[in-house]
C-alpha cells in the first residue's frame, strides 16, 4: 500500500505525515507540487504548513499547483485524499470540499490538544473509529474558522458529511463547531486538527494514562489502508 | 502603462476578524465615530495595453484565483490609464 504525501513550498508537516503513514503500516511516497505525476500511489495526503506564506488566501496559490490537476482527477475517480490543516484549505480552494476557512474569530493563532467527536465513520479515512468516538489530537492554526452559506451547512449536516466536530470548546469560530468534512462520495476528507502528530506514544498529546501517550490520530491512516485493502 | 485594478472584499455577511481588530484599535484610541472597519484586497495588474480579451481573462482570474466566492466578493474591476 503506497500513500503519497505532497510537498508544497511552505509545507511543514509533510515529514510527519510520511511518518504517520509508515507507522500505520503503509509505504509513504514523497510527491512534489511541481510535478504532473502521482507515481502510482493508492491514496494522497495534503499536509499542513503555510504554503506560499498563506499569501492571497491560505492554500489558494497551492491549489493552482501543477500536481493539483492530477489530485482533482484522482479524487473524482474515488482515490482516498486527506487534507490536514493547510491541506484542508487547499482542498476547499480546489473545490474538492465545500466551504472555506477564514481567520480565527478571536484573531489569535491557537495551538492546543483538541477534543473531537468522530461523527461519520463511513469515510475512507475514519472507518477504524467507533461511531461518535471522542479523540484528542493537536490543533495549530491561525485561519481555521470553517464557514459556508446556510444551504451548504444544511446539506453537510443533513447528509452526515460533518466528519469531525470540536468538543468542549470551539477554538476558532467554526460554524456548528465543524472541524472536518467529507465530499459526497466519502473519499475526500479535510480537517484542521493534526492527526499525524498523535501517532506514536511519547510524542502525542497527554492522556490520563501518561504524558504524551496519545495516539488517537493513527486510526485515520489505518482507516485508509483498510479502505484500500477492501477495494 | 495602464493598470487594471481588481478589488476584493470579504462577504458582508461574514465576520471579518481583521476589520474587527482594527475597529477595536480605533476605539481604544478614543475614536467613537467609526462603527465598523472591513478590510479587503486590491490587486494592481500592470499591462502593455488593455483589450476586451484581456479584461475577460482578468475577470476569470478575479473570480477564480484572486477571490474565493465562498468567502469573498469581487467588488470592482477598473482600468487606470
Tens place of pLDDT per residue across chain A (231 aa):
999 999 999 999 999 999 999 999 999 999 999 999 999 999 999 999 999 999 999 999 999 999 999 999 999 999 999 999 999 999 999 999 999 999 999 989 999 999 999 999 999 999 999 999 999 999 999 999 999 999 999 999 999 999 999 999 999 999 999 999 999 999 999 999 999 999 999 999 999 999 999 999 999 999 999 999 987
> What's the CATH number where A170 sits?
3.40.50.880
Are A56 and B15 inside 8 Å of each other by CB?
Answer: no
**Full residue range of the structural domain in which residue A219 is found:** 2-229
The number of domains in chain A is: 1
Closest alpha carbon within chain B to A149: B70
A111 is catalytic: no
Select the residue of A57, A100, A103 nearest B17 (Cβ to Cβ): A103
B17 touches chain A (CB under 8 A): yes
Q: Is A55 on the interface with B (CB under 8 A)?
A: no
Architecture of domain B3-80: 2-Layer Sandwich (3.30)
Enclosing H/E stretch for A116: strand A110-118
What is the arithmetic mean of pLDDT over B9-27?
90
Sheet of A27-32, strand order: A27-32, A2-7, A43-46, A81-84, A188-191, A178-182, A162-166, A110-118, A133-141
- So where are chain B's domains? 3-80
Catalytic residue among A58, A70, A85, A93: A85
Question: Is A173 in Cβ contact with B15 (below 8 Å)?
Answer: yes
Amino acid at each position: 500500500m503506497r500513500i503519497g504525501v505532497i510537498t508544497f513550498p511552505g509545507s511543514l508537516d509533510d515529514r510527519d505525515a510520511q511518518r504517520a503513514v509508515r507507522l500505520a503500516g503503509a509505504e509513504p511516497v514523497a510527491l512534489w507540487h511541481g510535478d504532473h505525476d502521482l507515481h502510482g500511489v493508492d491514496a494522497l495526503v495534503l499536509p499542513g504548513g503555510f504554503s506560499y506564506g498563506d499569501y492571497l488566501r491560505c492554500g489558494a496559490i497551492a491549489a493552482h499547483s501543477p500536481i493539483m490537476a492530477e489530485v482533482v482527477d484522482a479524487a473524482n475517480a474515488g482515490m482516498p485524499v486527506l487534507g490536514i490543516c493547510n491541506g484542508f484549505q487547499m482542498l476547499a480552494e480546489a473545490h474538492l470540499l465545500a466551504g472555506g476557512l477564514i481567520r480565527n474569530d478571536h484573531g489569535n493563532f491557537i495551538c492546543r490538544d483538541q477534543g473531537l467527536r468522530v461523527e461519520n465513520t463511513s469515510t475512507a479515512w475514519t472507518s477504524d473509529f467507533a461511531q461518535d468516538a471522542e479523540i484528542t489530537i493537536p490543533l495549530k492554526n491561525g485561519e481555521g474558522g470553517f464557514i459556508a452559506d446556510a444551504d451548504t451547512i444544511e446539506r453537510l449536516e443533513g447528509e452526515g458529511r460533518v466528519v469531525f466536530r470540536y468538543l468542549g470548546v470551539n477554538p476558532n469560530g467554526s460554524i456548528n463547531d465543524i472541524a472536518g468534512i467529507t465530499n459526497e462520495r466519502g473519499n475526500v476528507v479535510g480537517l484542521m486538527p493534526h492527526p499525524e502528530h498523535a501517532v506514536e506514544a511519547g510524542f502525542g498529546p497527554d492522556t490520563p494514562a501518561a504524558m504524551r501517550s496519545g495516539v488517537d490520530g493513527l486510526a485515520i491512516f489505518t482507516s485508509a489502508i483498510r479502505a484500500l485493502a477492501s477495494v | 502603462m495602464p493598470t487594471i485594478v481588481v478589488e476584493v472584499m470579504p462577504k458582508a455577511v461574514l465576520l471579518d476578524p481583521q476589520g474587527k481588530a482594527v475597529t477595536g484599535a480605533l476605539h481604544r484610541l478614543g475614536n467613537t465615530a467609526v462603527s465598523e472597519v472591513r478590510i479587503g484586497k486590491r490587486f494592481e495588474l500592470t499591462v502593455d495595453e488593455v483589450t476586451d480579451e484581456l479584461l475577460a481573462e482578468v475577470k476569470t482570474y478575479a473570480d477564480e484565483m484572486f477571490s474565493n466566492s465562498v468567502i469573498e466578493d469581487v467588488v470592482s474591476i477598473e482600468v487606470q490609464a
